[in-house]
Every structure is written in C-alpha cells, then in structure tokens.
Chains A and B, each alone.
Chain A
Amino acid sequence: MLSAFRSALATPDLRKKILFTLMIVAVYRIGAVMPAPGVSYPNVQACQAQLQDQSFFSLLNLFSGGALLQLSIFATGIMPYITASIIVQLLTVVIPRFEELKKEGQAGQGKLTQYTRYLTIALAILQATGIIALADRGGLFGECSQPVLPDNSVYTLALTVLTMTAGTAVMMWLGELITERGVGNGMSLLIFLNIAARIPAEGGNILNNQGGLVFFFVCLLGLAIIASVIFVEQGQRRIPVQYAKRMIGRRMYGGTSTYLPIKVNQAGVIPVIFASSLLYLPNLIGSLIGDQNEASTWQRFLQTYLVDQSSWVHITLYFALIIFFTYFYITITFNVDERAEEMKKFGGFIPGIRPGRPTAEYLGFVLSRITLPGSIYLGIVAILPNFFLSITGQGNNQNFPFGGTAVLIMVGVGLDTVKQIESQLMQRNYEGFLR
C-alpha cells in the first residue's frame, strides 16, 4: 500500500497531476469559507453557534460542505450542477433533439455538457437568490436575532447574488480543471471533499456529547458500513460475450471472448440524491410560502410525517422512492436494445442466445433481477442513519459521515479516483493500490 503511494509520487506526470489536484482543492476550500460581500461574518458565526437543528438544509449543506450556512462565495455548492445534470439527463428521454445529440457520440455529448453548464448558471442564480432571500428574512438560521445581511438594500443583495453565481461558475471551472489536468472526475471530487471536510467536526461532536466508548463504536460501525459498501459497489455480474472472427482487408479482427459487466449497483448514488431532493422539496416550499410562527394544519402534517426524519412515514417513503428511482435511472442510462444492437453490429453474441431481440430481452431480464438487491442495498444504506438519531443528535443524520448518502458518495468517488490513478500507474508497470 505504502509502496504504491511512493511509486505514484515517483512518477513525474502522475505527481504533477496529484499536486495540481491538491492545489485546486486548497483554492476551493479557501473559497468555501470566504464570506460573500454584504454578509456579516461575526453575525453568521454567532448564528451558527445558536443553530441546533440543521435537518432542514441538511442535503444542501452537505453538498456545499458547510459553505451554505457560512454564506460564503461558494454557498450554492455543487448542487446547481447536479440538478442541471439530472435535468439534462432526464430531458434526453423527453426531447427528441437531445436524444439525437446523445446518440451522436463525442460531439453530441459535448453539446449536452455545454447545455448543462448554461443551465447550471441559470439554476445558480435561482438558488443564490433563494438563499439570500431566505437569509434576509431570517429563515436560514431559525431563531437567530442578529441580522446576517445588515445592509439589505436591493443593490447590495443583488451584488451578493451575482458574486455567488460567479462563485458557482468558478467552482465549475475548478472541477473541470481537475477533470482535465488532475486525477479523477473534478465535480465528484469536489462533492467528496465537501463531505470529507465535515468528518472531523462531526466526529468531534460525537466525542464531546457522547463520550469515548460511543465514539469508538461509531467508528467501528462506520468502518463496517464502508467495507460493506465497497463490497457491494465492486460486485458485478459478468455476461460472457463472444466476438466472431472477421477479415477486414488483410487483417484479422475479433475472435475474442470478453464479458459485459453489469454492476449490482449500476445506478450509483444518483437514486439517493434524486429521492432526497424530492423529499426535501415540500419542506422548502412550505418554509418559503408559510409563516414561521403559526403553522397551518397541513404544514404541521408535513412536519410530523415528511420532515421529521425519525418518523416511519418518512423512512418508508424514502426507501420506496430510492427503489423506484434506481429502476428508473437504470432504464434511462442502460438501454438494453441499444446494447444488443451494438453487439450485433460488431459481430458479438452471448453464447446460447440469438443476437438481436432475444439478446435485448435476456439483458433486460438479468438487469432487472440484479437491480433488485442493488436497489434494496441502496435503500438500506441510505436510511441507516435515520435509526441512529439518538447518537448523532437530532437533524444531523444525513450529514452523519458514517452512513447514508455521505458514505455512498465518498466510497463511489474514492473508488473511481483510485482506479484512475491505478490505470495511470499501470501504464508504467507499477503495482497499484488495489490487489
């Protein structure tokens, strides 16, 4: 393990890449704690100290690494980009032009990415406005008397919104720089960072509030969860594919036997993100249009059943949504007909099954069977922290770094990044991290 680290650093171009990534990360973290203009830093700090219940913005705050509640220049976090990507991804099903672009390959994909980036900026403006409006009305910090935005003239607030939007653009650029010149996928690495940055604080919280023994067990549990998540993430079914030999000109192609890997959890962590964003939507709407002081009946209904993360309605709904979205997302991303068609085109077939429609049917069959345990596993990992409310303290559960969304994202991104470093090492014949 350690020798792998040494050889990774001994390779000149890989060392350069890793150092570049670290530099970007440093820039990003500095930006995440720098208060936006118009925001009163001392007041924000005072309000944060008062804040007990973070459940309301847990997801947003999770994706911004605590930058949201700091009202920093990167307060919107990576969320606009994620939302934009999800929307564009979904639109490829709805709008024929998008579907064409997606099928076009590299160039079309580039165009889709470009659309995603435009949409990101639009969403960033929306979200920044929302955050500022909420902070101005005092909704962001609950019962905090100090004004976080002392000068609330329209001009100053607009300036703050503009700065946050530009911050989102910068964040996007930083992510792309990492993708281009560093290691791993920049955007997901930034999310990873946001989550990882919270671990020491959360751990310290538990240590202070609950004592050493509980802390020890939580660490043990966290390690067990991480190990099991890695186990499932790596699991895949390999469907053998045989390619026919063919002559093109004077050269012989094909004749190889490979396999089509189908992961147990083909959808990754995206269903969890979908489900949690959807669940927190009614909450957000309620807080935006409702009055803070007197809650109406339906608001109280929402509060007890949907918002409260320890209620069984919330947990069941969350679980069901995750299973639904897993299937939904896999049918979107993994098109069995397309795969079967591709295989047929290049002279490949699954032994014992005719190419064309039967192959597509077989792939669909395998995929839906293997996704069932995959989706149940996703659901279980995601709702795990809801059962540990007493340990982590009310409202901190999805932020809790040893379970739920956080662990899924961390492990997914971590594995991906390590694999990329390893493939770079392999080019130079070094032994990698994973054996």
Chain B
Amino acid sequence: MKLFLQILLIVTSVLLIVAVLLHRGRGGGLSSLFGGGMQSSLAGSSVAEKNLDRITLGLGAVWLIAIVGLGLLVKI
C-alpha cells in the first residue's frame, strides 16, 4: 500500500508539473507583480485550456490524497 501510494505520488507529481507548464501563462511576470499596470483579462479561455484545467484539478486532487494517505500511513 505504501509503495503504491509512493508511486502514485511520483506519477501525479510529474504529471502535475507538466500539466501546469502546459497552461498558457497569465500575468506579465514581475512588472505586474508589485503594483504594476492593470491589464484587463478580457480574453476567455479556450476549450483546450478548459479541459486542461479539469485535468489539472483531477491530478491535484489525486496528488493531495496520495500525500495525506502517505502521511496517515507512515505516521512517523
């Protein structure tokens, strides 16, 4: 069970990183970080982006469950 959870955690971690990186970046980096210009986010998200959102959400949920499960199981 522990091994399974660990493998699950590894797989979901990698997939999660990939999924997040596949998203189109929002916000213009540092310039808009601390009190920069105000950009209006008028552009809606595309269908691909929406599906990616869903996938990321699912992966994130599994990832969280794996972490909590490992924490409960190992309990050091």
Please list the residues of chain A having a beta carbon within 8 angstroms of any beta carbon in chain B. 34-38, 40-41, 43, 73, 82, 85-86, 88-89, 109-110, 112-114, 116-118, 121, 150-151, 159, 162-163, 165-166, 169-170, 172-173, 175-176, 179-180, 185-188, 233, 268-270, 333, 409, 412-413, 415-416, 419-420, 423
Contacts and interface: CB of A to CB of B under 8 A. Distances in A.
A424 to B, nearest CB: 10
A37 B67 contact: yes
A158 B31 CA distance: 34
A35 B13 CA distance: 16
Majority secondary structure of chain B interface residues (helix, strand, loop or mixed) = helix
Contacts of A41: 71
B70 to A, nearest CB: 4
A353 B69 CA distance: 69
B48 interface: no
A420 B33 CA distance: 13
B35 A113 contact: no
Candidate in B6, B13, B24 with the most chain A CB atoms within 10 angstroms: B13
Given A37-B70, A162-B10, A116 B35 contact: no
Contacts of A82: 30, 33
A166 B36 CA distance: 28
Nearest to B73: A37
Interface string B25-40: 1111111111110100
Contact of A420 (B6, B27, B38): B38
A407 B45 CA distance: 35
Candidate in A34, A73, A89, A166 with the most chain B CB atoms within 10 angstroms: A166
Contacts of A43: 76
Contact of A159 (B9, B36, B63): B9
A169 B59 CA distance: 12
Contacts of A89: 29-31
A434 B3 CA distance: 56
B74 A180 contact: no
Nearest 6 pairs of A and B residues by beta carbon: A113-B25, A166-B13, A85-B30, A268-B34, A169-B20, A412-B35
A169 B74 CA distance: 25
Candidate in B17, B45, B68 with the most chain A CB atoms within 10 angstroms: B17
Contact of A170 (B36, B41, B60, B68): B60
Contacts of A169: 16-17, 20-21
Majority secondary structure of chain A interface residues (helix, strand, loop or mixed) = helix
Contacts, number: 125
A36 B63 CA distance: 12
Contact of A268 (B10, B13, B36): B36
Contacts of A423: 38
Contact of B9 (A118, A121, A163, A176): A163
Nearest to A420: B38
Given A269-B35, A423-B38, 6 more contacts: A37-B9, A113-B28, A114-B24, A151-B76, A179-B41, A413-B35
30 contacts: A35-B71, A36-B67, A38-B74, A43-B76, A82-B30, A88-B29, A112-B28, A112-B29, A116-B25, A121-B21, A150-B76, A159-B6, A162-B9, A162-B13, A163-B67, A165-B17, A166-B17, A166-B63, A170-B16, A176-B25, A179-B27, A186-B26, A188-B34, A233-B35, A270-B34, A333-B31, A413-B34, A416-B34, A416-B38, A423-B38
B71 to A, nearest CB: 6
A210 B14 CA distance: 48
Contact of A187 (B33, B35, B41): B33
Interface string B47-76: 000000000100010010001101100101
B56 to A, nearest CB: 6
A412 B34 contact: yes
Contact of A186 (B27, B45, B68, B71): B27
A172 B63 CA distance: 16
Contacts of B27: 113, 175-176, 179, 185-187
A37 B8 CA distance: 13
Nearest to B44: A180
Contact of A163 (B13, B26, B60): B13
Nearest to B25: A113
A159 to B, nearest CB: 6
A274 B60 CA distance: 32
Contact of A185 (B32, B56, B68): B32
A154 to B, nearest CB: 13
A179 B26 contact: yes
B21 A118 contact: yes
A45 to B, nearest CB: 13
Contacts of A114: 24-25
